[in-house]
Amino acid sequence: MTEDRVGWFTEARFGLFVHWGLYSLAARHEWVKQREKLSDADYQRYFDHFRADRFDARKWARDAKAAGMRYAVLTTKHHDGFCLWDSALTDYKSTNTPAGRDVVAEFVEAFRAEGLRIGLYHSLLDWHHPDFTIDGWHPQWDDRADLGELNAGRDMDRYLAYLHCQVRELVTAYQPDLLWFDFSYDDDHRVTVGKGAADWRADKLVGLVRELSPHTLINDRLGLSGSEDFATAEEASPDTAMGAVPWEACRTLNGSWGYAPGFQQWLDAGQVVRILVDSVSKGGNLLLNVGPDGRGAFEPQARELLAEVGAWTELHGDAIHGAGAAPEFTAPRDTRLTRSGNRLFVHVFGWQAGTLVLAGLAERVRYASFLHDGAEVECSVVDEEGNLPHLQNAGPPGSLVVHLPTRRPDVLLPVIELILT
């Protein structure tokens, strides 16, 4: 891994995850086949009715760009095995549904046209392929009287040839900026029989990608430690910066990756902005998911949320894109710090304190203003006794004290920019 290859990724900071597939028609989570133990025959009805008549990749791309996102990752195939591109290796693909469209091709073209980088999510699991052996996460796991019998005739070597050849197809056709493999579960305490790096022949897969497209970044879910360009964190962020490895938090908007109107635990735009800032302040990215509906559209609530987030990133992008952690400074309580060169950004999560005390910064700050409108912000310096004119015990001597105006600015998250000497 070299800095150059991964540079665009850590600059970008904010991306769109798109989970779309047959499960979007079931509209109750992308694991519906497994959760409800559906057979291939049960699941066929979604294939037969996949029309994609409201799918417009240019609209998705415009929404993502307006939100301030710089890259997007689409599911080429999820665990259900349905392929969203015109793979020569299977009939189980979007071009054979009533939609008759190559979703991946349209996605790649539209997002690149908007200047976004593209990533391809690819499931290592496959609950449709006849050679993928039944394991603890497979929808048919509960049917087993005898696992040997159930897996008789299933040949993982043939499945692996399929998996590797499909990855070859995708990488050759699109030279993606990143590949997002999902996932390894040989050490998952919830399943007795899992699969991991050896089952995927992950070393060969990585070698293949590196050879065909050296610039393509690979995530950490092949289970092959040392092969990853970036780490992933799901529905959570680490407590502190994760050292030198670039990382990305991926989050759902409402608890489901695939379209699921029954899941109503929506984040609001303010939470999304705080999650984004929190990630960047720890040196990470945020990959925010939208699950388009069964016809291919982003639902209104998701679009509104992206637009609101975009109104914030439009004014505050400098504190996100190309910015990172500022470990040399201590963030005042209820704030996060991000830094870009000599610009230090204080993201003020709470407004109640009245002042923000930045230890050791009195000598280092030349100018302070709000990032959204450039309005100067009043600052003072704690004296040798630790006091301010109207406040005793204000903080350690030599601290910079930022005075917050009484009225909190009307933005999702106010940011104060400090210019460092």
Name the residues that contact ligand GLC, by CB under 6 A: 19, 30-31, 182-183, 234, 250, 257
Residue 234: CB minimum distance to ligand GLC, A: 5
Residue 85: CB minimum distance to ligand GLC, A: 17
Of 59, 67, 55, the closest CA to residue 13 belongs to 67
Amino acid in position 187: D
7, 317 contact by CB (below 8 A): no
Residue 125: CB minimum distance to ligand GLC, A: 8
Closest CB to ligand GLC among residues 11, 234: 234
Residue 257: CB minimum distance to ligand GLC, A: 5
Closest CB to ligand GLC among residues 20, 329: 20
Residue 332 DSSP label: P
**In whole angstroms, what is the distance from residue 341 CA to residue 419 CA?**
9
259, 293 contact by CB (below 8 A): yes
Q: Which residue is nearest to ligand GLC (CB)?
A: 183
Residue 233: CB minimum distance to ligand GLC, A: 9
Closest CB to ligand GLC among residues 121, 329: 121
Residue 121: CB minimum distance to ligand GLC, A: 7
DSSP state letters, 166-203: HHHHHHHHH--SEEEEE---TT-TT-SS---HHHHTHH
229, 221 contact by CB (below 8 A): no
Burial-class residue 375 by CB neighbours within 10 Å (0-12, 13-18, 19+).
exposed
Amino acid in position 235: E
Closest CB to ligand GLC among residues 255, 317: 255
Closest CB to ligand GLC among residues 229, 417: 229
19, 255 contact by CB (below 8 A): no
CA atoms within 13 A on the CB side of 318: 18
**In whole angstroms, what is the distance from residue 214 CA to residue 408 CA?**
48
Residue 134: CB minimum distance to ligand GLC, A: 17
Closest CB to ligand GLC among residues 134, 379: 134
Structure tokens belonging to residue 164: 């590797």
**Would you call 238 helix, strand, or coil by DSSP?**
coil
Residue 274 neighbours by CB under 8 Å, 6+ apart: 347, 349, 413
**Would you call 375 helix, strand, or coil by DSSP?**
coil
Residue 266: CB minimum distance to ligand GLC, A: 18
Closest CB to ligand GLC among residues 251, 372: 251
Closest CB to ligand GLC among residues 236, 307: 236
73, 120 contact by CB (below 8 A): yes
